[in-house]
Structures are given as structure tokens and as C-alpha cells.
Structure 1
């Protein structure tokens, strides 16, 4: 099913919501430690190296992650597989609350690969593609941040430092500070703290609640399933090159940071046929952010096994999602995302919504308002 553009009256009302909010940009210091994987892999230094990395990573039947441990692991030993990373970092974030004051709960928003926190509050077309505006209109406050390693947050070494484990530690530190009213510039306190992730941000949200069960009062995992079978589609469709070659805005990133080479790669991985405005596709490409080799190498190992989180869980994924469904989430019954139900034995409520005709970039498609409504209805009813 292809969604039509929103009616002009609705778009106008959404634009009006932009002024009915109070937002501030913040820089949040965090001190964190994580047990990272210790790869012997060299960061790709040329675009030929990048292509070789992508092809090796995507080869069927080969565990490239295990191969990349290489000389760091002695025979019959696991002592060299991991290294503890400890550091102090800065996280760039935006906190918003309704004009009337702090909302009824705080939502922490974690974006995925290829974006920064603007994914949640996309500025093109008068903020008509803004999840933040939709949340504020429902009396929620929001905290959107640039994941550690990119955007206005601290950058780092792209193979063995900026990995999933360290980023989950960052999300935990941010959540703890927000719960304790310890973030400079945010005076409001919240009895309910909720988490919304997109794609890799959903992976991190899943991992956060698996490690710290009481850290959240409810989670929504968008653009997500527990299947790793289709990650090679995303890798090969992404047409990755060195980030500093992809765009002048990414010139400061060192080798080991990768980004899509052209707008077609963004379309393939994020936008379903007939469900997007080409101007938004172009804007998404221009606003694009990189991914590290370390992130790609560690994104698949954290959503395995049972998650003992006891709060409510909602998964919202587009029918045509590429990286988590291979382009058809409804190919099985139950759907590919719904199969995650068995991994949440203690959840107070579990549901899955497949957005008809939508791709992976849910917030930026014509069906975005339906996506926003499903998330906010869930929070209203189950948290």
C-alpha cells in the first residue's frame, strides 16, 4: 500500500506546532567504560580497501568478525578478544518540552546509521517530518542526541573504540543522568523515562534494557527485527566509501569512518518505492552521517538470547525494510519483526506494527505520521 502525501491542512497544523515548543541544544559530559571487541583489523585507508571490507563482511558462510580478531587471539584462548575502553566524552543533544512546561514523560531518542539526531526533528519542509513535534503535541518531552562517535558528539578511533558496547554505555550514562536530574540545563525531573530507537539505535536500546532491566519504563524499536540475515543487503546497497571522500561536510573524519557515496544508496536502504518525496531523499543524503568499521563489526552480537526487560515493548518496522527484513517483513507468519516476541519473556506488553508500504527510513516517508501515531498511542496506553 502506497501512502499519499499528507493533506495541506494537516501539514499546516504540524508547521504551527513548531512554535509551540521550547528546545535547547546541550553538550553533556559523560565518563564511561565498556568491554569492547579487540580487532586486529586495520582501518580501510582507500576506497578499494572499503570495498574489500564490505565484500569480506558480506560473504555468505564466513564469520568475518571472528576472522578479524586475527593475531589478537592466541590458539584456544579468548584472552585477547576484548579490551576495556574507558574515557570521558561529550554528547551533543537537543532537549525539547512543550511550551506549557515539562511533558508527562521524557522520551530518549537514539538514531541509527547514516543520520544524526536531526532524524527525529528533520528540518526540511518546515519540520513536517518531525517526530519531536508529534511527541510534544502529545505532551511528551524529548531528548535526542548524536550517538557517540559522530555529529556534535565526541569522535574517536573507528575500529576498536567507537563500537556498540561503548555507545550502549553512553546511552546508559545519559539515561542515568536524566533520571537523576543531573544533566546541566535540564531542570525538570521525570517519573517516567521512555526510549525510542531507530535501526542501530534500536539495537542499542534493546541492549540497554537487556543489561539494565529497570532503566526504562517502555521501549519502541523502530526499523528493527532480531534477524541479522539481511545486514549484507544493507552493506552492499550502501555503496560505502571513506566518509571524507563522500561529502565536504564529512571531511574531518579519519579513515575507518564510512559513508554512502551517492543518493541512490540512501534511497535503496531507506526509502520504499512510491512512499517518499524526492526532495526529502536529497535532504537526507545531504544531512548524512558516517558509520565506523567498529560499529558495523559489532552491531549483530547484542540482540541475541533473551531480554528480561519487564516493561512494555513495541516494534514498528516498514513493510519494505531492507536491513532487517530483506525488503518484505511479511514474508513469514508471524512477520520477521514479530518473531522477537519470544526474546521478551517478561515484558508486560508486546506488540509489532508493520507499516504498509514503508521502508527503513520511517520518519522521512509519506507514512511518517502513521508511524508517529502508532508510537505515541502505544506510550499513551501502556506506560
Structure 2
């Protein structure tokens, strides 16, 4: 393709993005238009206001005064015989508010394909990540892969992450409120007309903590989502605490980059050594060092408020009958201690145990991959599997 032809194609794709409209109760402030990482999707980006209420858990937990305080909390959480979540958990506390969230709506850049979209995928990132996990770089973008297969995606930063609001990290940013906010957004999207077409199906797609949230949604609202794609999660939790220690968490406000200056010290991120990121997230040498460095340099925050309360909203879902796909990196340390085939396929164990009534179960162990399956060389294999799962279930 000549330079002139390339510029003409780029102009045409941007025209699709500028023409993208979201006919819903959402009002996007400061909207922008652009393309996904490899230009397969035209995207509308901006901030939305979401009002929600939830019965959070009153946590006997304060933001750390500094690094020694946080390090001791990490030790306390890893102490033998201590169930830390129960130790600091109290009764319910009602939380309500209106919060600003950053969101991206993307449709196939091909106008003909965009008009045929019937299924939207509701994407949810993991801890210390943000919306960029799903659209990271050419070849490492689930948004691109989904658009090429004819799907729309709704991708956002959860409360307390990325470009979204950062309220109290202990008492407000918890699983119950995240679930109610997600439920509000799914409800709006189910009634949406996007670029002139009506959404018929909404599929929940999560990674790690984002998968836990997707499960929490259908646990309370089973009719919200027509199918689930859960990645980076299993019933094997033995590696979680070791991984958390390996993270070498620091108050994000103390990160030398200065990216998190001004945040409450209850917002945490991995330490400033790249190995703190590699151990729990990546399998060497099965990743591009440039991608690894970009992910490390753009890492985000997490909070104990969310991490300590997900256990209260996740449980087996015997009432959910929709299709469920579970994808794990074969060498995921956090949820498999680096061997997701031991003692059996952990993805299959997970889907059978938590979704016994699901019609259309599917699993995939992505070869040569750690926890961040979207940032390994084999990322496209995982993408292709999940998109085939949707096609097979007529979604």
C-alpha cells in the first residue's frame, strides 16, 4: 500500500470513528474518536457518570502510613493460620455516589461490518491494570481481534483505576460497589443503539479480578450477560499470596515515576523493579521485552478494599445456564502455581465447579503463557479460541 493510499484509508477509518454515536442514557464528557491499536476498530472514548449504591463491608483497615506499614500488612496477610479478610472485616456499610469512569466503545472499522454488529463484549481488566490491557499494541489487542470478528466492545477503567475516579480505597472501592456500577452500565448497554444498530447480546469478558467481577454480576443478576469469557482465574488459589508478596507492593504515591502523585496511600502498585512484575505475570522467554517494558512502565494501581472483598461476592452459580468459556495461561503462577494442567486441567475444574448448569462450556490452556495471556507471544491463540467460542454459540 502506497503512503497516499494508507493516508486515504486512515482518513476513512477516522470518519467511521467520528460518526460513531452512542444512543443511551450515558452522556460522554470530553468525547474523542480514534482507532484501536491496529486500526481494526473505530472507537468513541470519553468519561461517563455512573450512579450506584451498595452494601460494602466496613473494613478495620487504614491506608498505610508508608512502606514499612504496608510491608507488615503484607506479612500479616501471609501469616499461617490467619484469615486476614475475616480479621479486618466488619458489618455492612451503605455506600452510594455518582462517579466518573473512563470508557471506550469500539465497533468494527469497516462500516459494513459495523452495521451488522449484534453482540457487544463488556470487558473488565485485572488488578494493577486498566482498560489498555485489552487494546495494548498491534498483535496484542483483544479489541482488534473482536472487531475483526464482527464484535463491538465496551472497555472501561473500574472505579479506582486508570483514568476513572479514585475515591476512598478501603471503604468505597470494593467488590460490591464495583458490581452495582457494572450492573448499571450493562443495563444501559442492553438498551443501546450504537451507530444506528441495536445491541441484542452482551457478553461479559474478564481477566483475573475482572473475571471475579463478571462472576459477581451474574451471581446477583444472572440475566445481565448472555455468555461469559473468564480468563486468568481458577479455583486454585495457593499461588495468590506468594504472588502478592512477589509484587513487592508500594504505596503508588511513592512510585519514583511520579505518575501517582497525590493519590491516597491506600492505592498500591508493584515495586519499581521489573522483576516484581515478571514473577506473577509473565513466563520467560515467551514475551516481547518491549511489550513487557511498556506494561511495566504503564502499570496501574490496586487496593486492598477490592482484593479483600471479592471473596464475599463470588460463589458457585447454579442458576446461570449461559455459555461459559475459561481461558488460562498454561504457566499462570497466580492461579495455577505455573502448571495449569496439574493435577488436572484447572480451567475445566473451575467451570465445572462454579457453573454446573452452564450450557456450552469451553476451556483453553494457552501454551507458553503466564498470567497476562494478552501480552505473550501466544496471545492471538487465546483470542481466536474465545471468539470461536462465541461463534459456536451463535453470539
TM-score by length of structure 1 reads 0.88
Question: For 2:45, which of 8, 17, 25 is the aligned residue?
Answer: 25
Ranked by relative contact order (alpha carbons within 8 Å, sequence separation 6 or more), the top structure is: 1
Find out whether 1:226 has 2:235 as its counterpart.
yes
Q: CA deviation at 1:378?
A: 0.5
Per-residue CA deviations over 1:327-367 (Å, capped at 9, x if unaligned) read: 21111124365233122122111122111221000001101
Answer whether contact 1:338 1:351 (CA < 8 A) is retained: no
Alignment of 1:189-268 (within 5 A): 189-246=198-255, 247-261=257-271, 262-268=273-279
Unaligned runs of 5+ in 1: 1-14, 70-79
- Superposed, which structure 2 residues align to 1:312-331 within 5 Å? 312-331=323-342
2:307 and 2:284 map into 1 onto residues whose CA distance is 26
Mark the CA change 1:350 to 1:157 in structure 2 (over 3 Å): closer, same or farther: same
Equivalenced residues, count? 354
Q: CA deviation at 1:267?
A: 0.8
Counterparts of 1:205 and 1:93 in 2: how far apart (Å)? 17
SS class of match (1:81): strand
Instruction: Output the CA distance in 2 between the equivalents of 1:339 and 1:121.
Output: 27
Distance in 1, matches of 2:91 and 2:303, equals 19
For residues 115-174 of structure 1, give each alpha carbon's deviation from its aligned partner in whole angstroms, at most 9, with x where no partner exists. 110000003xxx221111111000001111001112111111011110111111111111
> Matches of residues 41-120 of structure 1 in structure 2 within 5 Å?
41-69=61-89, 80-99=90-109, 100=111, 101-102=114-115, 103-120=117-134
Shift of 1:27: 1.3
Q: Does the residue aligned with 1:26 lie in a helix, a strand or coil?
A: strand
The CA deviation string for residues 24-55 of structure 1, in whole angstroms up to 9 with x for no partner, is 10211111011111011111120111111111
Give the unaligned 5+ runs of structure 2.
1-34
| Alpha-carbon distance in structure 2 between the residues aligned to 1:16 and 1:200 | 24
For the Cα contact (< 8 Å) 1:65–1:297, is it kept in 2?
Answer: yes
Query: How many Å separate the matches in 1 of 2:37 and 2:174?
Result: 37
Does structure 1 retain, via aligned residues, the 8 Å contact 2:267–2:302? yes
- For 1:73, the equivalent position in structure 2 comes to none
* Residue-by-residue CA offset, 1:37-88 (whole Å, 9 max, x unaligned): 101111112011111111111223211112113xxxxxxxxxx511111111
Partner in structure 1 of residue 30 of structure 2: none
* More displaced stretch, 364-373 vs 327-336: 327-336
Segment of structure 1 superposing worse, 293-302 or 373-382: 293-302
Counterpart Cα distance in 1 of 2:326 and 2:167: 31
Task: Label 1:171 to 1:191 Cα distance change in 2 as closer, same or farther (>3 A).
Answer: same
For residues 222 and 20 of structure 1, what CA distance do their matches in structure 2 show?
Answer: 22
Question: Residues 191-221 of structure 1: CA distance to partner in whole angstroms, max 9, x if unpaired?
Answer: 0111110000000001111111111111100
Distance 1:19-1:90 versus aligned 2 partners, 3 A rule: same
Counterpart contact for 1:198–1:221, Cα < 8 Å: yes
**1:122 matched residue in structure 2:** 136
Change (3 A) 1:317 1:21: same
Please tell me whether the aligned partners of residues 226 and 337 of structure 1 are also in contact (alpha carbons under 8 angstroms). no
